[in-house]
Structure 1
Amino acid sequence: FYGMGAGVRQGLNWDGVKLLKIVLPPVEEQIEITDYLEKQVNIFDTLIAKKEQIVTELESYKKSLIYEYVTGKREVCDMNEKEEIITIFDPQATRIMQEALAYKVIRHSGDNLKGRIHLMKIIYMLDSMLGLDLGINYLRYTRGPYNPIIESIEKNLSDKGIISINTAKKYSYTVIDDSFDIKYNELFAKHNSEIEKIIDYMKRMKSSRAEKIATLYAAWNDMIIDGVQNITDKMIIDDVMNNWTENKAKTDLSTWQHILNEMKDKKIIPRGYGKHTSRKSE
């Protein structure tokens, strides 16, 4: 017992515990400590998210590189005959692509854009329909395919003085420096016509409708990526209602079917481009 140290008391009962004096800092100091820890946790969470995004981008690049060699889009050169130039993947270049496309959506949509969720859905559709390879890992959120990286994309554009983010009455954006057109054109000029058509289709609809279209498209596109054959409307809608998030089952099947029919009429049909969505917890 004595080996336990002088600060240990044997057989301490509840009455004895109640008599113990526990020293706590003042309430104000406790609040300061809590605020500090919360800020540090947020910093760490942001840092982890950025590192995870870089890993995702590198993994995407690796898969696309393997695909290009397997399908013959790239050839393996004889190193004895000629020197091979190896392109190093640059996450910063990928982020500039993300910012340039977000800028284009904001600029081309004008006052029609209904905030961050609407912006994210249009970016997802552009990325997946055109195979832009933005390096974004889309997650199955309650409001459709999403990734919190959109928050840092917004912030970067705002910090650079390209847009302002308005939150007073409704969440909206204003372009304050259109010189970013140059960067956008450098990266997406060959896709510009298709990009504008997709933005024009989605910019005037409610955010909730854009969410449903993007969700149906993602479920359908995932099946194509997985190699599923003879995909039916029922399979797509079942995946949305049962394998996405719980709130998707609250929308009537007839509503999903109506939107899916409209997508087909508008030729909004996936071809297996882009990245497979993941569950939020994965």
Structure 2
Amino acid sequence: MEKSKIDEILVSLGFGFPESKNDNIAFEETFEKYQFEADANKIDSEKILKSLKPKKKVTNIDYHRRTVLAAEIVYKLHKENTLGHLKLQKLIYLCQHSAQMDLYTNFLKQAMGPYDNRLMRSLDKQFKVNQWFQFSGGEYLKYQPLSKIGGHREWYEKYFSNQLSEIDFIIEKFRITKTKRVELIATVFACWKEIIEEKQLFNNEILIKKFYNWHPDKSKFSKQEIIDIIEWMKNEGFYPKIDLASS
């Protein structure tokens, strides 16, 4: 194809460059009001690259792993009257992120902290299908053991062999802790994690601000309660760590 023909095609598609005085005038009129408003210093290339990575396809094993983890928590705590849907979710969240597990969940910013509503429905169903537990919200002990209780354990030790100590630590640490306190800890943990991921300078004031911005319902916690939890988490060494695998 002749060069002139190629040029004509490029121009028709908008890829041509101005070559004459009239072309220059038209070009300047087109772009005279154009402004490049992006702040190059705020462009996070790492974040962009991570967002372009293909998402892992979820398999039945992924669903089974999270069910087995939840079953272990309930297995250890079903005789405690503090265990219900909300506390179970918070313990799953804390296990997943404190031990940096590759676990399929979708925790969203809800009034009660990080919460995955679909996960909860799935767990109730799978517990019953496997005859491990029956959830009874109106009972004093909300998770009633069924005929095959403990049937998850061989899978649990297989799936989480490298995280057994971290999971046991969390289960025992919060064994009798009331739901409201676990909600507070999980939300502070999530806000702390955001600060790390956003590479912000960390201090208590920034963390407290993030906490209150999480949801209007968080106003039920006083500033002193949040500060006390932050100090407790620091003393216990129980806070988000940098995930070297994804950094």
- Give the alignment's TM-score, normalised by structure 2: 0.71
- Name the structure where helix makes up a greater proportion of residues: 1
| Contact 2:127–2:133 (CA under 8 A) maintained in structure 1 | yes
Moved over 2 A (4+): 62-67, 88-91, 166-171
Contiguous gaps of at least 5 residues in structure 1:
1-61, 68-87, 275-282
Per-residue CA deviation, residues 119-177 of structure 1 (Å, 9 max, x unaligned), is 00000000010111212121111111101022211211112212121233346113332
Report the 3-state secondary structure (helix = DSSP H, G, I; strand = E; otherwise coil) of the residue aligned with 1:231. coil
Which residue of 2 is the match for residue 168 of structure 1?
Answer: 138
Which residue of 1 is the match for residue 241 of structure 2?
Answer: 271
Hey, what's the Cα distance between the residues in 2 that align with 1:147 and 1:270? 20
CA drift at 1:89: 3.7
CA drift at 1:91: 2.4
Asked if 1:220 is matched to 2:186, the reply is no
| Contact 2:185–2:229 (CA under 8 A) maintained in structure 1 | yes
Per-residue CA deviation, residues 53-74 of structure 1 (Å, 9 max, x unaligned), is xxxxxxxxx969959xxxxxxx
Hey, what's the Cα distance between the residues in 2 that align with 1:142 and 1:66? 30
Asked if 1:206 is matched to 2:178, the reply is yes
Asked if 1:157 is matched to 2:124, the reply is no
Amino acid at match of 2:193: N
Which residue of 2 is the match for residue 261 of structure 1?
Answer: 231
- Give the alignment's TM-score, normalised by structure 1: 0.63
Alignment of 1:172-211 (within 5 A): 172-176=142-146, 177=148, 178-211=150-183
Report the 3-state secondary structure (helix = DSSP H, G, I; strand = E; otherwise coil) of the residue aligned with 2:114. strand
Which residue of 2 is the match for residue 124 of structure 1?
Answer: 93
Which residue of 1 is the match for residue 3 of structure 2?
Answer: none
Asked if 1:102 is matched to 2:74, the reply is no
Kindly tell me the number of residue pairs found equivalent between the two proteins.
191
Hey, what's the Cα distance between the residues in 1 that align with 2:160 and 2:73? 12
Report the 3-state secondary structure (helix = DSSP H, G, I; strand = E; otherwise coil) of the residue aligned with 2:135. strand
Amino acid at match of 1:191: Q
Hey, what's the Cα distance between the residues in 2 that align with 1:65 and 1:155? 34
Per-residue CA deviation, residues 80-135 of structure 1 (Å, 9 max, x unaligned), is xxxxxxxx844211100110000011012232242000000000000010111212
Report the 3-state secondary structure (helix = DSSP H, G, I; strand = E; otherwise coil) of the residue aligned with 1:132. coil
Which residue of 1 is the match for residue 7 of structure 2?
Answer: none
**Alignment root-mean-square deviation, CA:** 2.4
Report the 3-state secondary structure (helix = DSSP H, G, I; strand = E; otherwise coil) of the residue aligned with 1:164. strand
Per-residue CA deviation, residues 29-57 of structure 1 (Å, 9 max, x unaligned), is xxxxxxxxxxxxxxxxxxxxxxxxxxxxx
Hey, what's the Cα distance between the residues in 2 that align with 1:231 and 1:129? 18
| Contact 2:90–2:183 (CA under 8 A) maintained in structure 1 | yes
| Contact 1:130–1:273 (CA under 8 A) maintained in structure 2 | no
Which residue of 1 is the match for residue 23 of structure 2?
Answer: none
Asked if 1:111 is matched to 2:83, the reply is no
